[in-house]
């Protein structure tokens, strides 16, 4: 045993790719802020800690200073980056530096932990579950013993190797009393990251009680714990003080289920009042509690209008066999209908998220599920592809063989760049086939996914598509026909060329191996002057292009497809209504490059009331005397858009729309509000 005669130098990194494409996808490093805060509390002036977001800044610092410990936050979007940084640190200092990774991608399963050490040989230890206790235990050993001696015994909250044998300490990572954890905001640890380059994050509680096998939180077993009320309130005040002049930047509440604790109702009251009094936050992101309790209702009623999706019920699937396999239990049909009605009465959007590719789900069962979700009245339906990442139960041994999973690899957004002169690119492993779906099924669903995203998340001609649904045409079937391509490119319409272009991009982004992906990404990166090339998010990127298509092209595609479901031709009442709604859709989209507002449109229908009723009844139920629809900018748009416009000045039209769709929260502010004259 020995005691160090100097401070232990610790570098902590929550590393991200700093590039133009990622400029609004960067977050304050709250996670390592908590790690540093607890270490300071436990060891005082025995430790000296520096926090990093920029990997190149960290590597430059490593050239100047040798830290004793390098700790990195481990997620699927920075895995390659962490690997390169850890390798370079070991090349510089060898065993004189201790490298530690922790975060959601560290599994609790022993075989998976062994696999991590095999894949990442430059990592000395992994922290399991929450990091504060495990990391502080490792620091305690590092302070007391020589580097090599400390690995001969277990360290609680840590897994490490000793002579190729896995050594596991007691799992303490979900037992920390959060009242003992000082705020990294209030102690000044995060001050270097509050210049507006990074979005603010707020955590009010920890642990998810649900056990979904596709989620990194599903493996955790412990007690739901909350940070002290006053500390959270003080953090909201602190964040507001630093971001009140940036209303276009949303605040992210990173609880797994905000609204699961009764006290969350009072916190939402405070956040709402803060927004009203100080002008921040004006945009929010959070996952509401899946049980839709009275507390969750209170939270959503207060804050849902500031989010992208309002009231979110992430159903993922309705297949009973699938739900059992993924260890999930949804709300009942009655509860779902009640929740949608509740949201409608408060003029809040309702959203559901679905996952295609889950075990036992077929293409036909999923399309049926889509149509059912539409009939229920969800305003937004998000269709996600299942992908496999470190830290979820689905990634464990035997699962792939059991379900015959076939996967390919695609880039993770714009998470690529030169790290210390070496090209890195992150990827996600997408399920494209199984015992129940084929690659052709995946290809069809990927394009259908894009159209659902366009209609229900980007509000692309949403009035029209809701009308189709009430015309005895299953909407998923209509969209399938809309995106159907001829066998040969000869004679394609402009719309079909656009769909083919998207379909090609969606399949071209998939690679058979990480090596193929890396090589292709590197070539594209170099040919784009060492910048991450667009598109990085296909749904948003092509959604922006779709919105920018000529209105005549869109209108003809919509009506031609409708004609295929109609036996009486275009000269009937259905097509008159369809043309009217297309005109409304064209008018409601704000032209972000021109200040001229659309003219009023004559109407015989109360469209705003139809929308408030979640489109549950046909348009004919909203017949009124002839009047006008006027289009009015929302107050929040007028507040946020000038700041947004300054941030993205100089971009071409499609790129500008891409960024607007990605970062204006909620996106409905990019539409005029339709109002009927009384």
**Domain 8-168 carries which CATH code?**
3.40.50.280
- Mind listing the pLDDT tens digit for each residue in 317-328? 999 999 999 999
| Structure tokens that stand for 662 in this block | 């990605």
What is the mean pLDDT of the segment spanning 78-96? 97
What is the mean pLDDT of the segment spanning 555-560? 96
- 14-30: b (≥16 Cβ within 10 Å) or e: bbbbebebbebbbbbbb
Per-domain residue ranges of the chain: 8-168
What is the mean pLDDT of the segment spanning 284-307? 94
How far apart CA 580 and CA 582 sit, in angstroms, is: 5
Report yes or no: 124 and 98 within 8 Å, Cβ to Cβ: yes
Query: Could you tell me the pTM of the whole model?
Result: 0.90
Per-residue pLDDT at 290: 84
How far apart CA 210 and CA 556 sit, in angstroms, is: 46
- Mind listing the pLDDT tens digit for each residue in 412-427? 988 999 999 999 999 9
Per-residue pLDDT at 1: 43
Per-residue pLDDT at 644: 80
pLDDT bin (cut points 50, 70, 90) of residue 107 is very high
Per-residue pLDDT at 635: 87
**Strand positions, DSSP E, 14-109:** 47-52, 69-73, 98-102
Asked whether residue 239 carries a pLDDT value surpassing 90, the answer given is yes
Which CA distances in Å does 441 have to 189, 322, 569? 49, 18, 32
How far apart CA 630 and CA 678 sit, in angstroms, is: 11
- Mind listing the pLDDT tens digit for each residue in 2-33? 556 789 999 999 999 998 878 778 999 999 99
Look over the chain and give the mean of its residue pLDDT values, rounded to a whole number. Answer: 92
Asked whether residue 267 carries a pLDDT value surpassing 80, the answer given is yes
pLDDT bin (cut points 50, 70, 90) of residue 236 is very high
Per-residue pLDDT at 3: 59
């Amino acid at each position: 045993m020995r005691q160090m005669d100097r401070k232990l130098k610790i570098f902590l990194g929550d590393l991200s790719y700093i590039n133009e494409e990622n400029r609004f996808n960067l977050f304050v490093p709250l996670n390592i802020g908590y790690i540093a805060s607890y270490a300071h509390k436990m060891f005082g002036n025995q430790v000296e800690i520096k926090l990093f977001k920029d990997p190149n800044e960290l590597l430059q610092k490593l050239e100047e200073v040798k830290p004793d410990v390098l700790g990195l936050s481990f997620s699927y979007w920075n895995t390659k980056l962490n690997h390169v940084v850890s390798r370079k640190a070991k090349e510089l200092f060898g065993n004189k530096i201790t490298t530690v990774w922790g975060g959601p991608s560290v599994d609790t399963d022993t075989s998976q932990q062994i696999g991590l050490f095999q894949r990442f040989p430059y990592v000395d230890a992994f922290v399991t579950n929450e990091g504060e206790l495990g990391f502080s235990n490792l620091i305690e050993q590092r302070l007391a013993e020589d580097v090599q001696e400390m690995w001969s015994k277990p360290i609680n909250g840590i897994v490490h190797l000793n002579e190729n044998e896995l050594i596991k300490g007691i799992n303490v990572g979900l037992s920390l009393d959060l009242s003992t954890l000082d705020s990294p905001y209030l102690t000044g640890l995060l001050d270097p990251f509050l210049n507006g380059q990074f979005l603010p994050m707020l955590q009010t509680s920890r642990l998810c009680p649900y056990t979904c096998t596709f989620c990194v939180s599903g493996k955790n077993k412990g007690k739901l714990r909350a940070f002290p009320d006053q500390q959270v309130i003080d953090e909201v005040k602190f964040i507001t003080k630093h971001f009140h002049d940036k209303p276009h930047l949303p605040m992210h509440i990173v609880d797994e289920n905000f609204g699961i604790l009764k006290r969350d109702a009072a916190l939402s009251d405070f956040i709402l009042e803060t927004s009203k009094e100080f002008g921040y936050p004006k945009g929010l992101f959070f996952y509401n509690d899946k049980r839709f309790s009275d507390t969750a209702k209170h939270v959503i009623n207060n804050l849902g209008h500031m989010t992208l999706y309002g009231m979110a019920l992430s159903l993922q699937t309705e297949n009973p066999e699938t739900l059992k396999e993924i260890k999930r239990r949804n709300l009942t049909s009655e509860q779902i209908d009640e929740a949608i009605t509740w949201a409608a009465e408060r003029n809040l959007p309702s959203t559901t998220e679905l996952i295609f590719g889950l075990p036992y789900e077929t293409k036909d069962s999923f399309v049926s599920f889509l149509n059912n979700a539409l009939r229920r009245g969800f305003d937004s339906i998000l269709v996600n592809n299942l992908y496999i990442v470190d830290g979820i139960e689905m990634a464990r041994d035997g699962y792939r063989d059991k379900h015959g999973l076939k996967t390919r690899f695609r880039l993770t957004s714009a998470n690529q760049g030169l790290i210390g002169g070496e090209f890195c690119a992150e990827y996600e492993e997408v399920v494209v086939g199984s015992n129940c779906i084929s690659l052709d099924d995946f290809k069809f669903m990927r394009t259908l996914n894009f159209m659902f995203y366009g209609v229900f998340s980007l509000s692309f001609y949403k009035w029209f598509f809701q009308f189709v649904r009430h015309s005895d045409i299953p909407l998923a079937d209509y969209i399938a026909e809309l995106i159907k391509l001829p066998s040969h490119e000869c004679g394609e319409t402009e719309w079909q060329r656009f769909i083919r272009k998207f379909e090609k991009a969606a399949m071209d982004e998939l690679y058979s191996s990480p090596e193929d992906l890396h090589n292709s990404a590197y070539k594209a990166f170099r040919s784009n002057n060492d910048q991450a090339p667009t598109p990085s998010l296909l749904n948003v990127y092509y959604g922006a292009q779709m919105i920018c298509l000529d209105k005549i092209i869109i209108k003809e595609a919509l009506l031609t497809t409708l004609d295929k479901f109609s036996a009486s031709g275009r000269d009937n009442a259905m097509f008159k209504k369809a043309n009217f709604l297309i005109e409304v859709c064209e008018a409601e989209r704000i032209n972000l490059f021109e200040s001229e507002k659309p003219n009023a449109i004559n109407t015989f229908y109360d469209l705003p009331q139809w929308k408030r009723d979640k489109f549950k009844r046909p348009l004919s139920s909203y017949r009124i005397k002839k009047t006008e629809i006027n289009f009015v900018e929302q107050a929040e748009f007028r507040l946020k858009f000038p700041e947004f416009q300054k941030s993205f000045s100089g971009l071409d039209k499609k790129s500008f729309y891409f960024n607007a769709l990605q970062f204006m929260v909620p996106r409905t502010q990019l539409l005029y509000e339709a109002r009927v004259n009384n």
